[in-house]
Structure 1
Amino acid sequence: MSLRWPGRASDSTTSGRSTRPCRPASPSRPRSPCGSRGSAGTGGGCRCWRTATASVGTCTTWSSSGSYYRVMVRGDRASWNIRDRHMAATIARLARHHGPGSRGLVWEHNTHVGDARATDMAAAGLVTVGQLVREAHAAEGVALVGFAAHRGSVVAASGWGEPERVLPVPDAVPGSHEDLLHRALAAPAVLDFGADRSGPWLSARRGHRAIGVVYEPRQERGNYVPTVMGGRYDALLWFERAEALRPLHHEAAPREPELETEPTGF
């Protein structure tokens, strides 16, 4: 997901005061009050500015995680919305920190990048990061880019808490977006949807494969999300065959039980 919007040259710190950007450094001008010569408004920032921004991010994460776990323990699907709204708010906060004209590139799963309104997620009351950023900043420049492949392999697990494995990705289900692209292109491609998306492919609702942390190739038909491709993304990176990533390293197994993460009261 590519983002560009004006942002602001200042933001509020945890103390409630407005942080003024430091002017660009020059040999004739002393350092800023926080002890550096960077420009807080452009992301090269004073140390105090960076510290305040990190502190706000930490506090926001603590607050959002508490709400997330409380809702998740109840089994409420709204926990998805809490997570995606937190990620969208984090993007907006970083944009303000980096100042006017800043740009960002956000790497997420298709299910978070794509606009929920072009899928059956909207009917379930779910939102996505891509949708939220589009709604807030579409006029300032937002491009949602999806990934798709006809077949291949992927690193995933058979269930939550299960070890990762390289799993096969079978040929796309007939009639799906992946099947159509395979038959029409049969080669990797970058597809820019452009402004007019009224054509038969971009405006049609078809299944679009979703592979997450948990993936079961033996139940392939259940891995597809009904999608209007022209509404979900602005462009698509298409591959005939995708290969599983090779992790650079793995985390060591914990030596003691994980600390309790559920909120109090449950």
Structure 2
Amino acid sequence: MSSSSESSSDEDDVPLAALKQPKAKKATPTRSSRRSSTGSKSYKEDSEAEFEDESSDDDQPVASRKSPKKKTTAKKTKTKPKATKAKPTKAKADKPKKKTKTKAAASSSASTSKTYNTAAMALYDLSNKGKLISSLLSRWWYAMEWPDPKVTCAEACPPKCDMMDGFPGVFVVTTGSEIGKIIDLRDLQTCPNFKNMAKKSSEELVELLVKAIDEQQKELIEHDGEGTTVEKDLKALKKWALKLNCKTSDKEAEKVLKAHNLKIQ
């Protein structure tokens, strides 16, 4: 009895930590257990894997779980290409340069497409001399007197006629059966018409034209003052006439008449 009581008292004096059961030693896996563990997972491992998968999904942000947006291709808008100035390229040596048409060549090409029945129309349209003639005939009275004032038209007046006002040498029948008939006694060899002006050289025509322009400009300024449109046109015409090459102008007129088989008669 004494021994048993002593043993129980000794056990009562033992601390509580010492009364805990010793931890079981981990059993070393055998070859068969290793094969089974590698071959299939246990239920615990499977449940833990599922829990981990679910928790990983819960931890993801909501934005990442949204369905991916469909890629939209931006519509291509047609943009107009910017206008770029073309750089001048040097002409290659092997390519011949294009020859520019001269005025004479242009007039010859134009003459082939159009026919002229009179020398006046051909020169007016295709030559500088024709422009000189037409410009002078528009204002000849500023540069020359015709008919000659020395001729007494009163003495040359035919019977039953009266002289027309402003036209010395031109008469009108006033009595008899031919009333109204015009009788022209002016010297047609010197009158200011195309035929007589075309016989003159371009140099002489330029002198007469410049003289006519100067006289017309003086009279214009006296009546309308300076700076009018007509005065500007007169200055431009005078400038053109003074710069004209008279020899070239005469040759050009001859070529035009020859191309159309025309003569000044």
Q: What's the TM-score once normalised by structure 2's chain length?
A: 0.22
Judging by fraction of residues, say which structure has more helix.
Answer: 2
Larger radius of gyration, structure 1 or 2? 2
Q: What's the TM-score once normalised by structure 1's chain length?
A: 0.22
Judging by fraction of residues, say which structure has more strand.
Answer: 1
